[in-house]
């Protein structure tokens, strides 16, 4: 149901909701960026709609709400262990359409890919998702190419226009809370085109896996992992077993984000690492995002948010890599004919 | 028939050159940043009254050579819009620069452009220029954005090196150790790993911000406050060239401005009135009075941040030719 209400009313509703939910949204963190006097837009808790950064794309995605960068799974002593408590409150997450599609990718990996991940599920089950519209495409976005520019799979859509707030609710609680508000049809803002257009090859022949094409990335990539950390569909983690220094017999197991670009990702017992070359790491990531994942799960993994292109300190464009790969696939197909 | 008071000329930022009858005008550009619209004005002076050439000085000014002493008034008139645009303190409008002893306050390109800079060096340099110019005493002050010290503050009477106090949010750290590697290879190896998390050796850390720059998740961020390392009494020259030594570490902007201003009082009190041209470098005065006496004058009324470390006694080395 669509409603028109006021920012004051909506803030009051969120204030009530905050008793049971932590509310997360993209916020401006002033001076928090890599360089001096550069802000970061990333997820943080809010108490008022005015704190939400609607005008710009967030540098980091919402994924850290459901998949914390560092998450303690359980505590152990000599003979016993105890699972870490789940957060007492649920979560409400403001996010854009592309990221809502990213959520599906996370669900696929953590809920539908073999055993259910309980740590993910317990957060996921208590999270509500509120769509933020996109009036304009941002730099490096290619959601239209990926078909992620629209989504109806939200608990609510919310648009702030000065003191007016438009809401499309799929959530009973909000419908009740908004009783008496003006009912109106609310259609989420979405873009129909992006400046960046990406063409994904249908299939990539095995012969291109070792193509010289990837070597250039070996020289350019610095293995910082930023492309993975900002990506809403990168879900890899690794484990850290900590023994408390005062005791040594008690400790905890944490899981933390991992990156297929960062050194150590392919390290195995005995010290062998099978993807030392950074060009091969690029190939692995790109093929996972736009080839392997689809073969396994039916949709591409990449949702076209373009954050990897926004963040890369070496100006490596993932979007351009796909397009170049597509040209290469077409060329190799011609050669075979 | 030229009849010149060379002392007045020098104070007006004109040089007595080796070429009889010709002077050179020094245009100061505090912080080393100017808008491009001023370049044609400088070009005009060089082409109308100079010899068509411009020298880029080490202190980030322009020196326009080949000017006839008789044209100084005309050149001062053309300098006026430059002085005004650059917001230079001026005692008598239209008369050019009314002092030259306190040199142009220079700065590296700073955080306007450079990824390493921890602060806006231009703005601080301009603020300092406003506080200390015009003055006839020979002071050299330079600002640099980080410990790389590209402007070479350690060859100045006062060098201001930017510092940030790295803030670590451990829950945002997954232990990639990009910060540890950067600190070890590019800075002072102040970071170590304990239980997959980072420990910063606060004694060693120079506040360069490499950890912040290299952190991919914003686990490391900058402190809201900018801090500075104040290094003092570096110099070039014939007798005892030497690098400046640390005086204050983790100092604030206000403390630094106050100390530099206090130093004018110290120099006024102790300068050798018989020195050639009445000019004596501060460092040599401190060598004579001892550091303790200088510190007493410098720290008068200075309010220190609790984080600030005051060094002392300070000893300088360098090369002695005397």
Q: How far is A156 from chain B (nearest CA, A)?
A: 29
Question: d(Cα B48, Cα B71) in Å, to the nearest integer?
Answer: 10
CA A278 → CA A217, A225, B259, distances in Å? 7, 11, 51
Q: Is the dihedral of CA A77, A82, A83, A85 positive or negative?
A: negative
Q: How far is B98 from chain A (nearest CA, A)?
A: 36
Give contacts of B 86-115 with A, CB under 8 A: 111, 115
The verdict on A192 touching B (C-beta cutoff 8 Å) is: no
Note whether A68 and A104 are within 8 A (CB): no
- CATH number of this structure's domain B106-163+226-310, picked from the four choices 3.30.413.10, 3.90.226.10, 3.40.50.80, 3.40.50.620: 3.30.413.10
Note whether A321 and A208 are within 8 A (CB): no
Rounded (10°) CA dihedral A37, A41, A46, A51? 70
Note whether A127 and A94 are within 8 A (CB): no
pLDDT digits (tens, 9 = 90+) for B89-117: 998 999 999 888 999 999 999 999 999 99
Identify which of B119, B120, B175 has the shortest CB distance to residue A256. B175
Question: d(Cα A66, Cα A106) in Å, to the nearest integer?
Answer: 9
What is the structure's pLDDT at A337? 65
Q: Does the distance separating the beta carbons of B172 and A31 come in below 8 Å?
A: no
Specify if A276 maps to a domain: no
Same topology between domain B6-85 and domain B166-221: yes
Domain spans of chain B?
Answer: 6-85, 106-163+226-310, 166-221
Which contiguous run of DSSP H or E holds residue A240?
Answer: strand A237-243
Specify if A72 maps to a domain: no
Between the two ends of chain B, the Cα-to-Cα distance in Å is 42
Specify if A176 maps to a domain: yes
Percent of chain B having pLDDT more than 90? Answer: 96
Question: d(Cα B228, Cα B308) in Å, to the nearest integer?
Answer: 9
Average pLDDT over residues B304-314: 95
The verdict on A68 touching B (C-beta cutoff 8 Å) is: yes
Note whether A26 and A45 are within 8 A (CB): no
Specify if A299 maps to a domain: no
Q: How far is B15 from chain A (nearest CA, A)?
A: 39
ipTM of the complex: 0.95
Specify if A34 maps to a domain: yes
A23-36 burial code (b ≥16 CB/10 A, e <16): bbbbbbbebbbbbb
Identify which of B178, B196, B219 has the shortest CB distance to residue A240. B196
Among all chains, which residue has been given the structure tokens 């837009």?
A41
What is the structure's pLDDT at A333? 81
Residues linked to residue B159 through DSSP beta bridges, in sequence order = B142, B231
Confidence of residue B222 (pLDDT cuts 50, 70, 90): very high
What's the CATH code, domain B166-221? 3.30.70.20
Specify if A22 maps to a domain: yes
Q: Which residues of A touch B178 (CB under 8 A)?
A: 224-225, 262
Q: Does the distance separating the beta carbons of A258 and B218 come in below 8 Å?
A: no
Domain count, chain A: 1
Question: d(Cα A318, Cα A309) in Å, to the nearest integer?
Answer: 6
Q: Which two tokens stand for residue A328?
A: 């290469």
What is the structure's pLDDT at B58? 94
Specify if A52 maps to a domain: yes
Q: Does the distance separating the beta carbons of B111 and A36 come in below 8 Å?
A: yes
Note whether A226 and A314 are within 8 A (CB): no
The answer, yes or no, to whether residue B234 has pLDDT greater than 80, is: yes
Residue B235 phi/psi, 5-degree rounding, is -165, 160
Residues linked to residue A127 through DSSP beta bridges, in sequence order = A91
The answer, yes or no, to whether residue B305 has pLDDT greater than 80, is: yes
Note whether B166 and B211 are within 8 A (CB): yes
Rounded (10°) CA dihedral B135, B138, B141, B142? 120
DSSP A253: E
pLDDT digits (tens, 9 = 90+) for B235-244: 999 999 999 9
Q: What's the CATH fold of domain B6-85?
A: Alpha-Beta Plaits (3.30.70)
DSSP B224-272: SSEEEEEEE--B-SSS--B--EEEEEEE-HHHHHHHHHHHHHHHHHH--
Note whether A311 and A226 are within 8 A (CB): yes
Q: Does the distance separating the beta carbons of B115 and A35 come in below 8 Å?
A: yes
Size of interface A-B (CB pairs under 8 A): 74
Q: Who contacts A74 (Cβ-Cβ below 8 Å, separation ≥6)?
A: A81, A82, A83, A84, A252, A253
Q: Which residues of B touch A258 (CB under 8 A)?
A: 174
Q: Which residues of B touch A234 (CB under 8 A)?
A: none
User: Which stretches of chain A drop beneath a pLDDT of 50?
Assistant: none
pLDDT digits (tens, 9 = 90+) for B52-95: 999 999 999 999 999 999 999 999 999 999 999 999 999 899 99
Among all chains, which residue has been given the structure tokens 């600190």?
B183
What is the structure's pLDDT at B312? 87
Specify if A12 maps to a domain: yes
Note whether A21 and A92 are within 8 A (CB): yes
Residue A50 phi/psi, 5-degree rounding, is -65, -15
Q: Which domain holds residue A27?
A: 2-66+85-183
């Amino acid at each position: 149901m669509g409603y028109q209400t006021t920012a004051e009313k909506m803030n009051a509703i969120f204030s009530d909701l905050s008793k049971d939910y932590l509310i997360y949204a993209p916020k401006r963190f002033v001076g928090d960026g890599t360089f001096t006097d550069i802000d970061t837009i990333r997820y943080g808790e809010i108490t008022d709609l005015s704190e939400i950064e609607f005008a710009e794309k967030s540098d980091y995605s919402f994924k850290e709400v459901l998949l914390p960068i560092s998450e303690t799974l359980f505590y152990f002593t000599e003979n016993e262990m105890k699972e870490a408590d789940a957060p007492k409150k649920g979560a409400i997450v403001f996010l854009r359409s592309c990221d809502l599609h990213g959520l599906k990718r996370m669900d696929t990996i953590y809920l539908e890919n073999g055993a259910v991940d309980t740590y993910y599920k317990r957060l996921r089950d208590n999270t509500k998702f509120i769509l933020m519209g996109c009036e304009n495409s941002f730099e490096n976005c290619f959601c239209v190419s990926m078909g992620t520019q629209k989504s109806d799979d939200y608990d609510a859509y919310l648009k702030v226009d000065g003191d007016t707030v438009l809401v499309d609710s799929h959530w009973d609680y909000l419908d009740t809370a908004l009783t008496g508000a003006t009912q109106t049809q609310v259609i989420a803002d979405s873009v129909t085109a992006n400046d960046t257009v990406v063409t994904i090859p249908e299939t990539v022949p095995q012969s291109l896996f070792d193509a010289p094409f990837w070597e250039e990335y070996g020289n350019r990539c610095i293995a910082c992992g930023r492309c993975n950390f900002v990506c809403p569909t990168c879900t890899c983690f690794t484990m850290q077993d900590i023994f408390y220094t005062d005791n040594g017999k008690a400790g905890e197991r944490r899981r933390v984000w991992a990156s297929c670009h960062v050194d150590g990702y392919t390290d195995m017992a005995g010290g062998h690492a099978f993807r030392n070359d950074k060009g091969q790491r690029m190939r692995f990531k790109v093929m996972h995002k736009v080839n392997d994942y689809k073969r396994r799960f039916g949709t591409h993994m990449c949702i076209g948010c373009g954050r990897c292109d926004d963040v890369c300190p070496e100006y490596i464009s993932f979007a351009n890599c796909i397009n170049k790969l597509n040209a290469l696939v077409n060329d190799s197909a011609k050669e075979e004919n | 028939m030229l009849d010149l008071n060379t002392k007045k000329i020098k104070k007006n930022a004109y040089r007595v050159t080796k070429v009889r009858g010709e002077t050179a005008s020094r245009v100061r550009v505090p912080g080393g940043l100017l808008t491009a619209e001023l370049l044609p004005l400088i070009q005009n002076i060089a082409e109308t009254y100079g010899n068509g050439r411009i020298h880029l000085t080490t202190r980030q000014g322009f020196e326009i050579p080949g000017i006839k002493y008789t044209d100084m008034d005309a050149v001062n008139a053309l300098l006026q819009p430059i002085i005004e645009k650059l917001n230079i303190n001026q005692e008598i409008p239209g008369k050019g620069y009314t002092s030259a002893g306190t040199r142009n306050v220079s700065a590296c390109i700073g955080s306007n452009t450079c990824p390493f800079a921890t602060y806006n060096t231009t703005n601080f340099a301009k603020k300092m220029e406003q506080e200390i110019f015009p003055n006839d005493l020979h002071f050299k002050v330079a600002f640099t954005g980080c410990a790389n010290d590209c402007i070479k503050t350690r060859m100045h009477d006062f060098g201001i090196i930017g510092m940030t106090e790295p803030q670590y949010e451990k829950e945002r750290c997954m232990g990639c150790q990009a910060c540890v590697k950067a600190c070890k290879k590019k800075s002072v190896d102040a970071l170590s790993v304990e239980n997959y998390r980072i420990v910063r050796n606060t004694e060693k850390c120079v506040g360069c911000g490499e950890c912040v720059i290299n952190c991919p998740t914003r686990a490391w961020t900058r402190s809201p406050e900018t801090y500075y390392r104040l290094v003092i009494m570096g110099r070039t020259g014939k007798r005892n060239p030497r690098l400046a030594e640390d005086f204050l570490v983790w100092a604030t902007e206000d403390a630094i401005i106050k100390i530099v201003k206090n130093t004018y009082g110290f120099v006024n009190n102790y300068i050798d009135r018989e020195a050639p041209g009445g000019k004596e470098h501060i460092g040599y005065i401190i060598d004579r009075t001892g550091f303790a006496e200088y510190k007493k004058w410098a720290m008068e009324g200075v309010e220190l941040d609790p984080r600030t470390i005051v060094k002392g006694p300070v000893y300088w080395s360098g090369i002695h030719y005397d």
